[in-house]
Amino acid sequence: MKPQYSSLAEIQRELAAGTTSCRQLVAYYLDNIERRNDELNVFLEVWADEARQQAQAVDEKLAAGTAGKLAGMVIGLKDVLAYQGHSLQSSSRILDGFKSLFTGTAVGRLLAEDAIFIGRQNCDEFAMGGSNENSAFGPVRNAQDPSRVPGGSSGGSAVAVQADMCLASIGSDTGGSVRQPAAFCGVIGLKPTYSRISRYGLVAFASSFDQIGPITHSVSDAALLLEVMAGPDGLDSTASEAPVPAYSELLTPAPQYRIGYLANAVNRAGLQPEVHEALENTLETLRGHGHVVEAVDFPLLDEMIPTYYILTTAEASSNLSRFDGVKYGYRAPDATDLESLYKKTRAQGFGPEVQRRIMLGTFVLSASYYDAYYTKAQRVRRLIKEKTNELLRQYDFLVLPTTPTTAFKLGEKQDPVSMYLADIFTVQASLAGVPAISIPAGTDAAGMPIGLQILSGDFREADLLAFAGTLTEPVAAN
Ligand code: GLN
């Protein structure tokens, strides 16, 4: 499934040569959406007229020499990002009819650099899930094999890039939601350091984990989108004040890196042999390139999933308490008093997975269990963070699979716990807050994409991207 364009650099060369225009690009992507959206269920809404108008405006700016950095980039937005005047539902019934009253910081920065938005993308409800089967609008399908899932929760965003319905997507990643669907769809997904990109205008799931991240075909586009979206923001007090490097100009790798891989993760039962092989091959290539590659053990591997699910459900139960039928979207029509309004609205408006997590989160925060679960999980998170940071001081990067298997079949994982366990490799970077990228690393026997993940120390995205660039197709270096 080769896209027509793999990077904005390629597109901008053609725009400069006059062999394409933003209007033509938008027409091309709209055509691809038209062709496959019914089958793949990627876009909940296509902003065709607006995208055409934006394209016209950017073409005029290009002619006048006043266009921004992202001129020519056609982007889709996951349904968790606020864009003023546009519907925003987190793929949930509870936000039926809701429209954003403002534009979030990251989205606003993209617009200011002349990105063109083509539509709103399907995802797991409130970004809770790993297969996109939890959307109130039905599942998204993997474009490589529509009987399989695209991953989640940013499944629509990954498939949109995979199926060439836009050049890039903006997703969100709490425990892997950008990286895991990117891996399942053979594209690149970057979760920046926690706090690198403002969360203002991102629907909150677990606020101490949530990060916005790009999904692209090339490392250079991931770098550019990060550069545009990152930076301090008076509207999000947790957004980092650290200056934003020009990531897109810092893609030259160092000649030698120290690379660690988690031996106990790799030798785990349940790892698909082809995923294991892809990792071994990559490690071999890296040794061949003269890097130092060493096995390390991560003692807290088994604690990772419980810690993540205790903390994120706790935060979610608090964040989602605002959806009560009074302030936003859906209101149960058959309520008789205030309490029944809350109960009925929430029972009818939230899907089963979201309800499960709210109940779990409420339970772990309840007075009798708070210390046993929430406080303890906070402590374990600190240990995971410290241990991860320690490794990332000894090594420039940690390399591990993004997922234990390639994309599974729709309906295959019925048991929620088995779905949670599939997050084993992505939650470490989320618990530690460090940046991580998933890059394509071949396919399995069924032709399904395999993803590899690279972690680096806090705020070392420039190095992470430069290194990732050496492991991706040459087109990515454009
Ligand atoms: N699959 C993970 C979960 O269900 C990750 C979700 C996310 O990153 N938003 O929580």
Query: What does pLDDT average to in each consecutive run of 10 residues of the chain (478 residues)?
Result: 92 98 98 98 98 98 98 98 98 98 98 98 98 98 98 98 98 98 98 98 98 98 98 98 97 97 84 96 96 95 97 98 94 95 98 98 97 97 98 98 98 95 96 98 98 98 98 55
Nearest protein Cα to ligand 1, atom 10? 128
What is the C-alpha separation between 430 and 213, in angstroms, rounded? 13
- What's the domain count of the chain? 1
Give the Å distance between the CA of 132 and the centre of ligand 1.
10
Tell me the angle at which helices 461-470 and 219-229 cross, rounded to the nearest 10 degrees: 170
CB burial of residue 57 (10 Å; 0-12, 13-18, 19+):
middle
The predicted structure's pLDDT at residue 269: 76
Sign of CA dihedral 19, 22, 23, 28: positive
pLDDT in tens, 101-126: 999 999 999 999 999 999 999 999 99
Which of 79, 124, 128, 203 for a ligand 1 pocket mutation test, highest count of atoms within 8 Å of Cβ? Answer: 128
Give the Å distance between the CA of 182 and the centre of ligand 1.
13
* CATH number (domain holding residue 155): 3.90.1300.10
129 lines ligand 1 (CB under 6 A): yes
Q: Which of 131, 153, 154, 248 is catalytic?
A: 153
174 lines ligand 1 (CB under 6 A): yes
Tell me the angle at which helices 219-229 and 105-112 cross, rounded to the nearest 10 degrees: 110
153 has catalytic annotation: yes
Nearest protein Cα to ligand 1, atom 5? 175
Give the Å distance between the CA of 308 and the centre of ligand 1.
9
The predicted structure's pLDDT at residue 473: 63
Main-chain phi, psi angles of 457, to 5 degrees: -65, 165
Residue 195 belongs to domain spanning: 1-478
177 has catalytic annotation: yes
The predicted structure's pLDDT at residue 2: 83
Give the Å distance between the CA of 202 and the centre of ligand 1.
15
